[in-house]
Amino acid sequence: MLKIHDLTFTYPGQKIPALSSVNADITPGKLVLVTGPSGSGKSTLLHCINGLATQHYGGSAEGEISVAGREIAGKSLWQISELVGTVFQNPNTQFFQLTVEDEIVFGLEHAGLDRATIERQLIRALQDVEIEHLRHRDLFTLSSGEKQKVALASILAMDQPLILLDEPTANLDIAAIHELKEIFKKIKKQGRTILVSEHRLWYLRELADQLIVIKDGQIAYDGQPNILKSTEFRDAIGLRIWEQSPQTKMTISCLKKHQETILKVSGLTGGPSRKKHIVNNIDLTLETGCCVALMGHNGAGKTMLSRLLTGLQKEQQGSITINGQALKTRQRIGKLACVTQQADQQLFSDTVLDELLIHPDDAPATRQQAEQMLKQYDLSQLAGRHPQTLSGGEKQRLAIAAAMIANPGIIILDEPTSGMDRRRMELLAEQIVTLCRQKVLVILITHDVELVASCADQILWMENGTVTETINRNGFEVLLNDLMKMNSTNERHEHEISNCLLK
């Protein structure tokens, strides 16, 4: 289905090739997992296959790529699009229309198909991805998982033999990942070839037929995915977990006792309007120097809880006490730091140093403090750079530094490891532990079981707007195992998806 022979690709203005001497042979009907550290060239490989690398980004490529026996070189992008369908990482930037149906038929209309064929392919794509109920919905009101399904349906409707997916689970919760896995199974049965570029590997362990590992622009491994069972292999490349659930490590705060209470929440209820409550009657007492993971499926109320805590949303009932002081909505703004998954939406200045010097009138930071903070977050050498030109990890470190310069005592990290490789995830976990050492309360809102296992002291499981369970580290393994379905049969998996924690 896909043959790559001696492919070397260089981005414009770069001397070092992003990919060098890549060879691969993929047979039809297989699911191929492409993985490797961030920046290793996974996305570039996908862009070489769909033609974007040379024709959109303007790089230069040598070597040959053929899909279904047809050479890609010399073909225009619309010709390649008849053979290759691509689902991108961010579902928000791959839609052209406002409703699900319009989006799916958009590509079919441009292919010049007649109405009957469009209707047939639309219905088939909706059924394949099981989103018939979303047919007339507004795209922008869907959850991340639903959006990703719509993106996949738009591609499946086009009926291309090769489907490329660039980190499809980066924005998904665990329930949505399991649903995506079931869809992959279905597509595979239809005989289509799927190429998935991923950091999260565990959900593909029963599906992947071939593994391609890319490191520094070269193929480090091409063969059976079973090699991922080897911890040495994963450690050497820096890959995430495959078969075993993550090992829970002892964290700093576990060793300490009798911490001071920093955050107390009593009977907290709130939502986007007076009539609609997403968070219902939450009681919490959290201590300094702890890392608490807030987990639960999408829509459970995690983000709303963080909005209520930070003062972005007004509570309907209940009280929030920070450092022994009950604070009203407006008083809470700035008392808790919050860093979201899109760190670039939180950086406003022209230089990295200036980012730390933008300050509210009542808490100015000095240049000396800012420089010290940059040093602490290993950003000193980037002080003069524009924040929007930094890499993803650097942007996130800067966002944390900018949030922490006001010395808030509590920080909320919302999906901080979305699309992160293992090394960057471990670095973040180290930073979290450092923050805990500095007696900062870290609240993690995440679906990343590996991050939770690395640094969290406690999991607060949320369902229907309330905390239903508090799990300490000795209970992590059971929960994380359940979430990842390491020890379950398909029947149990389906039962759990429909009844318990996940949905």
Please identify which residue in 236, 260, 348, 438 interacts with other proteins, judged by CB under 8 A.
348
Q: Please tell me whether residue 303 binds other proteins under the rule CB under 8 A.
A: no
Candidate segments 36-44, 116-124, 183-191, 483-491, binder of other proteins by CB under 8 A: 116-124
Q: Is the CB of residue 69 less than 8 Å from the CB of residue 261?
A: no
DSSP states of 121-134? HHHHHHHHTT-GGG
What angle in degrees, to the nearest 10, is found between the helix axes of 392-404 and 367-376? 140
Q: How is 294-331 classified by DSSP, letter by letter?
A: EE--TTSSHHHHHHHHHTSS-EEEEEEEETTEE--HHH
Site for other proteins in 314-333 (CB under 8 A): 330, 333
Is residue 357 a contact point for other proteins (CB under 8 A)?
Answer: no
* Residue 204 backbone zone (phi > 0: left; psi -120 to 50: alpha; other: beta): alpha
Q: How far is the CB of 473 from other proteins (least distance, A)?
A: 30
The span from the CA of 128 to the CA of 144, in Å, is: 18
**In the complex, least distance from residue 87 CB atom to other proteins, rounded to whole angstroms:** 10
Closest separation in Å from C-beta 491 to other proteins: 37
- Is 193 a binding residue for other proteins by CB under 8 A? The answer is no
* Among the listed residues 191, 360, 364, 384, the single contact to other proteins using CB under 8 A: 360
Residue at 222: amino acid letter = D
What character string, x for contact with other proteins (CB under 8 A) and - otherwise, covers 26-55? ------------------------xxx--x
Q: How far is the CB of 109 from other proteins (least distance, A)?
A: 6
Q: What angle do CA 91, 97, 98 make, to 5 degrees?
A: 85
The CA distance from 173 to 485, in Å, is 14
Backbone angles phi, psi at 280, to 5 degrees: -125, 115
- When the beta carbons of 50 and 248 are compared against other proteins, the nearer one is 50
Nearest to 150 by CA among 167, 159, 137: 137
Does residue 97 bind other proteins (CB under 8 A)? yes
Q: How far is the CB of 42 from other proteins (least distance, A)?
A: 16
Q: Which is nearer to other proteins, 236 or 363 (CB)?
A: 363
Looking at 64, 102, 128, 222, which residue binds other proteins (CB under 8 A)? 102
Q: Is 143 in the site for other proteins (CB under 8 A)?
A: no
Q: Does 92 engage in binding with other proteins (CB under 8 A)?
A: yes
Single residue of 70, 71, 73, 96 touching other proteins by CB under 8 A: 96
The answer to whether 74 contacts other proteins (rule: CB under 8 A) is no
Q: For residue 483, give Cα distances in angstroms to 246, 416, 426, 466, 478.
A: 11, 19, 21, 19, 9
Query: Six-digit token pair at 237?
Result: 């490349």
Q: Which of the stretches 34-42, 343-351, 370-378, 423-431 binds other proteins when contact is defined by CB under 8 A?
A: 343-351
Q: What is the dihedral of CA 216, 39, 452, 400, to 10 degrees?
A: 130
Interface residue with other proteins among 406, 427, 433, 486 (CB under 8 A) is 406
Q: Does 137 bind other proteins (CB under 8 A)?
A: yes
107 binds other proteins (CB under 8 A): yes
User: Based on CB atoms, which residue is closest to other proteins, 89 or 253?
Assistant: 89
Give the chain's end-to-end CA distance (angstroms, integer): 37
